[in-house]
Chain A
């Protein structure tokens, strides 16, 4: 950027004597009127720029670029190596980027030349008083080279003029999606607001020329419609948009709309630069290759983001009108968008064709079925036109109702759902009962009387009920091709999120928002010759901000660390560890005479600070002795839930009963139950009254028990896992939920590099054999066998392994805990 300014200075230095008027700065900022006396200097500037390419000019000076280089070195105080990079190396090099662009604009007087050679009406990209805006930002604090749009904002109040405001194109298109009312530029009075007007009907067409003053064609792009059909549209990059004031005063400020985004990511399938995991890595099966597309290697990624229209709601005091708008240009479907050349990584991925094993694994199958029900219900209910917020509450409430009925009548979930759908009277009673519980028990539900009314109404709608019943049937069905497709989608989502997290962790000093993950290349996938599906991780800034370049350098420098980050994303989170260890704690502390039971009793009997401290220490030591790992979160939760002031030893017994019942019901139904559902089921049992014995309450009511159980019982399973591995892509909406266990289960099924520990002299030789052949091994040991693991580690580091002519010592690369198992990663550095 500084070099761009210095280049303008250099041009002035060489041409300044030509004319006393104007400046190179103004010349570069936009076209000057024909016949102006500045033309003379303009020609001199063009001559200087052309002289930088001797073979195309008539100049007698063979190397003016050497003069430019010397000027840059002196003015910027840089050495020859850096100046050479600035002049020639991408991105945005002076001689290959800035000079040709400036030359083109000056010679054509900012006329646009189309690829077919015809001149397009309108001006090339320029901003008043801002020379070469794609090389230098308008302000020092602006993002470098961000594609921007000029928004013409109507006067905000009487006697004002309309103004021009500049905004990054993504922000502009989202802020002013047709039908969205924005007060972003309403800074002079409270009533000033702007939008791109729509009529508020379904299937509306919006002519681009109605609100776009200047635009440029980016070419034709294909995208998939909701029905899955490919459709091709001409895409336009807007440069100037005219906003309007909403004429309808009844329209609420909350009138909102969203763009229909599509993407097209293109790059060469056969790049010379790629990264491959080692052939013996467990990841090599899922991610066989990472293609590297860097400006540095002249292998960039072209990312086109375009919107084909918008959808939203016009909000008025008397109701809401849904609408969807499609962009058209001269009556033909069109799209608005922008194109960036960025650095990116393409992760080729191969997902297993047969994922039936996942539905057979008891640790994940119930969660998969519940999530499938939620996914199918959400899809179907939204097709029925239901509001997204209401949708989520509706299918969760339906699931809870069906679960309660199924436990009461000992039915499976499908039978229970059918019975409920067929019996409106029974359904009505149960809905009223459940909503009453929720209103009483969940503090955040107290203001939602309208929601409850909406839920009740929706639960009597035959089409919605039928959609949810069908979803329940699908979720209960056996593994088939639909299940396979669904699981592959979720797995792809999970894998992408894991890889993105690993990339961010490899470069923690960079801003994570500079990377965008696309689970597919959009339209480019349809035309690609490559048979491998890919995830794309691309930068958001033109030319790349250096994130991907540094990331690639670090991965190549330390590939093991990168794959360790990827593997670590599969480990249980703090929340999951706390949840499972608290459950283990309950198991141990309810055993008569156990260390933990005594420690709990000491804690409750403690009457001095010293005795309390000793009791806490005993709890910690007892936990370690019994193989219960209480991390900070688990300890906090333990004191907040189990060891609350006034609690008795009944609390841990009753809580354990809740968790036992939870396990039992889930095993019977084959579905995972959210915490809200299990508490709604268990609150019918009066034995849990003791949990609230020390709390002033209404005494023994079902609502009271529900409220207390909601406060004491903690989340577990899929509900906890889904909080992790989330990522945001402003151009895509992925409906499936990631779940680390999906990938973990597949990788754990790959036992080629894992060994279960057993005592005996042959175990070490088995480890040695594996290390010689693969270079790494995973040893799984029961978490309570501390002494055996300690001896094993010593034996491992003391025993050299012969690899060819070398004697190498293994090292302990990782030490992770999965539930009640330790997984020790052993690595033979320097081995295969």
Chain B
């Protein structure tokens, strides 16, 4: 697994927008790679504004995007519609509205089965796992990472894996449910 090491400085002095821009860059690169799976694990999920598309700056990627700030939900919707399996890992209460809206939008596009929400107690770490790449930060402060370290964050990765296993179980149960004809 390649770790996106955006560390090396005292991050407490870095600005909020710098972190947002780093996340933008990561998501943009993954949008081009089109990973099979994207795991987002976070203590709370909300429509955080990411891409400033008011002047159509990101139309090269998707011309159908509206000319406004694009939030995380819009980006996840993009991944889901391109065939990426999106897995959200977050305490359900915090992310309820966000997930409901996202599910509605993605559901309308007919790919709702790619989305699942697990109730996992996360308190600090935001983790974006896209196939073999990881991007993580702690609220508004990215984690200090050691280059070459294989495990991104043992707890995050463990919970993400758990969530994925539960998702697979749920799908299996739905497929084999006696009322499903």
Q: Which residues of A contact B (CB under 8 A)?
A: 505, 561, 564-565, 567-568, 571, 574, 577, 621, 624, 629, 631-632, 786-787, 789-791, 793-794, 796-798, 800, 807-809, 811-817, 822-823, 825, 829
Docked complex: B12-64 residues within 8 A CB-CB of A: 17-18, 21-22, 24-26, 28-30, 32-34, 52, 54-61, 63-64
| Cβ-closest chain A residue relative to B130 | A790
- In the docked arrangement, what's the CA distance between A807 and B17, Å? 15
From known contacts A568-B57, A814-B57, infer whether A794 and B25 are also in contact, taking CB-CB under 8 Å: yes
Docked-complex contact A790 and B25, CB < 8 angstroms: no
Given A811-B18, A811-B25, are A793 and B32 also a contact pair (CB < 8 Å)? yes
Contact, CB under 8 Å: A829 / B59:
no
Subset of 28 A-B contacts with CB under 8 Å = A561-B54, A568-B56, A568-B57, A568-B59, A571-B56, A577-B63, A624-B82, A631-B64, A787-B33, A790-B33, A793-B29, A794-B25, A794-B29, A794-B133, A796-B25, A797-B4, A798-B4, A800-B9, A807-B8, A809-B6, A811-B18, A811-B21, A811-B25, A816-B57, A816-B59, A816-B60, A817-B60, A829-B18
The answer to whether B164 has its CB under 8 Å from any CB of chain A is no
Is B63 a contact partner of A815 (Cβ separation < 8 A)?
Answer: no
Pick the contact of B18 from A632, A809, A817 — CB < 8 Å? A809
A816–B62 alpha-carbon span in the complex (Å): 9
B5 interface residue (CB < 8 Å to A)? yes
Contact B57 A815 (CB under 8 A): yes
Question: Given known contacts A798-B6, A800-B8, A809-B6, is B25 in contact with A793 (CB within 8 Å)?
Answer: yes
- Return the contact of B4 from the options A632, A794, A813 (Cβ within 8 A): A794
Contact (Cβ within 8 A) A807 B4:
no
A505 touches B55 (CB 8 A): yes
B107-140: CB near A (< 8 Å → 1, else 0) gives 0000000000000000000000000010000000
Whole-angstrom CA separation of A823 from B21 in the bound complex: 18
Q: Which 9 A-B pairs have the closest CB atoms?
A: A811-B21, A797-B25, A564-B55, A814-B57, A817-B60, A793-B29, A790-B29, A790-B32, A816-B60
Kindly identify, within residues 125 to 164 of chain B, every residue whose CB is under 8 Å from any CB belonging to chain A: 133
Query: Is the Cβ of B21 less than 8 Å from the Cβ of A794?
Result: no
- Which chain A residue shows the least CB distance to B31? A790
A809:B21 contact, CB within 8 angstroms? yes
The secondary structure that dominates the B interface is loop
Distance in angstroms between the alpha carbons of A800 and B64 in the assembled complex: 32
Q: Give CA–CA (A571, B60) in the complex, Å.
A: 10
Query: B59 near A571 (CB under 8 angstroms)?
Result: yes
Residues of A within 8 A of B57 (CB): 564, 568, 813-816, 825
Cβ-defined contact, A631 with B55, below 8 A: no
Tell me which residues across on chain A come within 8 A of B56, comparing CB atoms.
568, 571
What mask results when residues 59 to 88 of chain B are scored 1 for a CB within 8 Å of chain A, else 0?
111011001000000000000001100000
What residues of B have a CB within 8 angstroms of the CB of A790 in the complex?
29-30, 32-33
Q: How many residues of B contact A (CB 8 A)?
A: 33
Query: How far in angstroms is the closest Cβ of chain B from A614?
Result: 13
What CA separation (Å) do A632 and B63 show in the bound complex?
A: 9
- CB neighbours (8 Å) of B61 from chain A are 815
Let me know if B32 and A786 touch, CB within 8 A.
yes
> Separation in Å of the A658 CB from the closest CB of chain B?
26
B83: chain A residues within 8 A (beta carbon) = 621
Contacts of A621 in B (CB 8 A): 83
* Inter-chain contacts of A793 with B (CB < 8 A): 25, 28-29, 32
> Which residues of B sit under 8 angstroms from A789, Cβ to Cβ?
29, 32
Q: Please indicate the chain B residues that have their CB under 8 angstroms from the CB of A564 in the complex.
A: 54-55, 57
Which listed residue (B8, B24, B32, B64) contacts A811, Cβ 8 A?
B24
Nearest CB in chain B: distance from A422 CB, A? 50
Evaluate contact between A786 and B24: CB separation under 8 angstroms: no
Q: Please report the C-alpha to C-alpha distance between residue A561 and residue B5 in the assembled complex, in whole angstroms.
A: 29
Residue of A nearest to B8 (CB): A800
A561-B4 CB under 8 A given contacts A793-B32, A812-B24, A823-B60: no
Q: Which residue from chain B places its CB closest to the CB of A825 in the assembled complex?
A: B57
How distant is the Cα of A624 from the Cα of B81 in the complex, in angstroms?
A: 13
CB-CB under 8 A from B34, the residues of chain A are: 786
* Cβ B52 vs Cβ A561 within 8 A: yes
Nearest CB in chain A: distance from B15 CB, A: 8
Alpha-carbon distance A621/B52, docked complex (angstroms):
27
Q: Are the C-beta atoms of A829 and B17 separated by less than 8 Å?
A: yes
In the assembled complex, the CB of B142 is this many whole angstroms from the nearest CB of chain A, namely 10
**Is the beta-carbon distance between A794 and B26 smaller than 8 angstroms?**
yes
**In the assembled complex, which residues on chain B have CB atoms less than 8 Å from the CB atom of A825?**
57
User: Is B58's CB under 8 angstroms from A814's CB?
Assistant: yes
- The answer to whether B52 and A786 touch across the interface, beta carbons within 8 angstroms, is no
In the complex, what's the smallest C-beta–C-beta distance from B25 to chain A, in angstroms?
Answer: 3
Smallest CB-CB separation from B22: which chain A residue?
A797
Question: CA–CA, A811 to B63, complex, Å?
Answer: 21
A650 CB to nearest chain B CB (Å) = 30
The answer on a CB contact under 8 Å between B64 and A798 is no
- How far is it, in angstroms, between the C-alpha of A798 and the C-alpha of B147 when the chains are bound? 12
The answer on a CB contact under 8 Å between A807 and B6 is: no
Residues in A with CB closer than 8 Å to B82 are 624
Task: Give the one of B22, B24, B63, B82 with max A CB within 10 A.
Answer: B63
Measured CA separation A335–B92 after assembly (Å): 73
B63 touches A574 (CB 8 A): yes
Q: Within 8 Å CB of B30, what residues of A?
A: 790
In the complex, which residues of chain B have a beta carbon less than 8 angstroms from the beta carbon of A794? Answer: 4, 25-26, 29, 133
- Would you give the shortest CB distance from B84 to chain A, in whole angstroms? 13
Q: A800-B8, A812-B24 are in contact. List 8 more A-B contacts (CB 8 A).
A: A564-B55, A568-B55, A789-B29, A794-B25, A812-B21, A815-B28, A817-B59, A817-B60
Select one of A631, A800, A815 contacting B58, CB under 8 A.
A815
| A561→B57 CA distance, assembly (Å) | 9
Interchain CB contact under 8 A, B55 and A561:
yes
CA distance A823 to B59 in the complex (A): 11
B149: shortest Cβ distance to chain A, in Å?
A: 15
How far is A561 from B53 in the complex, measured between Cα atoms in Å? 9
Q: Tell me how far the C-beta of B58 lies from the nearest C-beta in chain A, rounded to whole angstroms.
A: 5
> Closest residue of chain A to B21, judged by CB?
A811
* Residues of chain B contacted by A815 (CB below 8 angstroms): 28, 57-61
Contact status A629-B21, CB under 8 Å: no
What separation, in Å, do the CA atoms of A786 and B133 have in the docked complex? 16
Instruction: Tell me how far the C-beta of A141 lies from the nearest C-beta in chain B, rounded to whole angstroms.
Output: 32
User: How many angstroms from the CA of A565 to the CA of B57 in the assembled complex?
Assistant: 8
